[in-house]
Amino acid sequence: MSDTTLKATAAASGASATDRFRTDKATATAQAVADTERVNTLATELISAVHDVIRQNRVTYEEYNALKAWLISVGEDGEWPLFLDVWIEHVVEEVAGADRKGSKGTIEGPYYVPGAPGLPSVSTLPMREDEAGTPLLFQGQVTGVTGEPLSGALLEMWQADDDGLYAQFAPGIPEWNLRGAVTADDEGRFAVLTIQPAPYQIPTDGSCGALIAAAGWHPWRPAHLHLKVSAPGHETLTAQLYFRGGEHVEDDVASAVKPELVIDPRPVGDGGRQVTYDFVLDPAS
């Protein structure tokens, strides 16, 4: 295990994820809370669902206070983005993507950062001189639902390194390492050289880790590439791609794997791997 792995604490990555959320998303929530009737419905049903669990399981005061302590510590650790994206977001995405005609998407997770370095259609993601991991050539085409190429589509990519760590959320990694915004060519084609990421382990030293340990669960997500694919006049697709046969593809702690998102890169001569994956974007609604 490298030095950076040892220093990637829950509190540090949680604080970064919380700051990130506040900057990018928390300002856009005013509209969601403006409809009193809607908030009444959602809050009433959510609270009522908790009441049902308490009655059905005859929850004790000891358990109630353990819950209270745990909820307080999730906030202190900055792990609300992690908790929500791991255990809740996949159902929000399921509802949001139900009518999609084009490519399947999945959850965004807590580690997207807008504004990654712009790259041409054929490029290499920013990486260290000695970046560890199996080289991966990821190529494909972006089209609309009737097959028309989407000239100049934007492919934002972010991923963990060979230690399962994300730049800007673990210390000691260059700011934009393994993060880039690739502009596809006139036919919507792209070819990006990167490395195959390692599986991601939820920090074990924070509140989410404590829940996992107390419940006897495991903390792993399968190795994955994150993507946002966008083009003018089209719905932005947020997706992740997983690797066939990889660890935890069948039991992702974040429940975000779909069969359409599992790729199987083929070995190429130099010890690397290569895969073609095309994206189909829905028209903007």
Q: Which residues bind Fe ion (CB under 5 A)?
A: 109
DSSP labels, 202-214: --SSSHHHHHHHH
Residue 109 or 209 having the CB closest to ligand MBD = 109
CB of 43 to Fe ion, least distance (A): 30
CB of 104 to Fe ion, least distance (A): 17
Residues near ligand MBD (CB under 6 A) are 82, 85-86, 107, 109-111, 200, 221, 254, 256
Number of H helices, E strands in the chain: 7, 14
Residue 234 or 248 having the CB closest to Fe ion = 248
In whole angstroms, what separates CA 5 from the centre of its chain? 19
CB of 127 to ligand MBD, least distance (A): 18
Q: Is 152 exposed, middle or buried (0-12, 13-18, 19+ CB in 10 A)?
A: middle
Host H or E run for residue 122: strand 122-124
CB of 122 to ligand MBD, least distance (A): 26
Which among ligand MBD, Fe ion, none contacts residue 126 (Cβ within 5 to 8 A by kind)?
none
Cβ atoms within 10 Å, residue 119: 18
Host H or E run for residue 252: none
**DSSP 8-state symbol, 249:** S
Which among Fe ion, ligand MBD, none contacts residue 86 (Cβ within 5 to 8 A by kind)?
ligand MBD
Residue 10 or 82 having the CB closest to ligand MBD = 82
Residue 113 or 281 having the CB closest to Fe ion = 113
Which among Fe ion, ligand MBD, none contacts residue 161 (Cβ within 5 to 8 A by kind)?
none
207's tokens? 């509140």
DSSP labels, 157-187: EEE--TTS--BTTBTTS-TTTTEEEEEP-TT
CB of 254 to ligand MBD, least distance (A): 5
Residue 86 or 136 having the CB closest to ligand MBD = 86
**Residue closest to ligand MBD, measured at CB:** 109
Host H or E run for residue 230: strand 224-230
